[in-house]
Amino acid sequence: MASNNIGDFSAQDVARCNICESGDVKLYCNLCSSKLCEQCSSKHILSDPHKRHKVIAFINKNVDPRPTGPNKYLKKRPIGGAEQEADSLSAALQEKLDLLSKEAEKIRYQTIPEMLRLEEILETQITEVHEAYKARITDIVSQSQMLCDVINQLDEEYKTKLEQMRERDLRVLEGQKMKFGSLISEAKQQLEQYDTSDIHKKETFQFPLLAFPQPVQWTAPAFVPIQPDMEFVRPLFGTLTESKVQAHPEGPRPPTSTSSRESGFTMRRYRPNICKCENPRVTKSAITGEKKCVKCKNYIK
């Protein structure tokens, strides 16, 4: 029959962790009947979200936690240094495991669902960003097309106006040309009459007065082009405002610790103080095998 006294165990009875198979077993899961070391305890608790593991100190695995009655309580016996240290370590480990279980439940049922909800919101925002940028590109293409349409309208307007001015100027010049032709024909007829007249008629011949035409004045149309650049066209093209996105950066994570606000207990990462005495008085723990100095109460390498 198993006993809680450490001296009752032999070298062949050393228990091994069911996960890593090491011989440093200090914990026991009543639900799964699994022997665990400290390093594998957290992994075992978080392995199955549907189970509520009850992890206790390995030396208490055969102790019934439910009292059967006041008459069956065992008498308390004086606790030695090794057993007192084991009980203290067992209580601290049990409290740490309870806090880890609470933290695992919080992560499983609060933190992860909240992160999934925020992830869905972020996916919706990403879709909205894609749609918004597609819409802005469509607006820019539409604006460019509108400017092209206006330029084409101006092009047609100027061409039409030039054609009208050309027809008007040619009409005026052709009319002036016809006047010159008429005057030339009239002058030739008068000369022909003069040449065919006899001497007596020539003595009395008189040339009629010819209207001398005015010189033609014409000024060519002018078109003053401009040299458009980005700054000239930008006010006509529209305004593009800068987008804004604000992501909350992940701050520094707290140190590895598990604390309970209700009890005020904190289990931090194990960093032992090393003894610096010149002649330390050494005592060795029967549970952990660690060496400690009696003078300064610090550990010895």
Give me the tens of pLDDT residue by residue for the chain, a chain 301 residues long.
Answer: 344 444 444 444 567 888 888 767 888 888 888 888 888 877 777 777 667 777 888 777 765 544 444 444 444 444 455 566 667 777 788 888 888 888 888 888 998 999 999 999 999 999 999 999 999 999 999 999 999 999 999 999 999 999 999 999 999 888 888 888 888 888 888 888 888 887 777 777 777 777 776 777 888 999 898 888 888 888 888 888 888 888 776 656 555 444 444 444 444 444 556 777 777 777 776 656 677 788 777 777 6
In a domain, 300, yes or no: yes
- Based on the structure, what is the number of domains in the chain? 1
In a domain, 222, yes or no: no
Please name the residues in contact with 63: beta carbons below 8 A apart, sequence gap of 6 or more.
4
The answer to whether the CB of 23 falls within 8 A of the CB of 11 is no
In a domain, 298, yes or no: yes
For the chain, the C-alpha Rg in angstroms (whole number) is 55
In a domain, 279, yes or no: yes
Give the SS3 label for residue 110.
helix
User: What pairing do the DSSP bridges indicate for beta strands 291-293 and 282-284?
Assistant: antiparallel
Is the four-CA dihedral 30, 34, 38, 43 of positive or negative sign? negative
Q: Determine the Cα angle at 230 with ends 226 and 235, to 5°.
A: 90
Q: What is the largest CA-CA distance in the chain?
A: 181
Per DSSP, what are the bridge partners of residue 292?
283, 299
The answer to whether the CB of 233 falls within 8 A of the CB of 244 is no
Of 77, 50, 54, 62, which is closest to residue 2 (Cα–Cα)? 62
Q: DSSP secondary structure string, 255-299? A: PSEEE-TTT--EEE---PPBP--SS--EEE-TTT--EEETTT--B
Instruction: Give the predicted TM-score (pTM) of the model.
Output: 0.45
Give the CA-trace dihedral at 268, 269, 273, 274, to 10 degrees. Answer: 170
In a domain, 203, yes or no: no
Residue 288 is part of which domain span?
A: 271-301
In a domain, 147, yes or no: no
In a domain, 162, yes or no: no
Tokens coding 297: 């109460």
In a domain, 234, yes or no: no
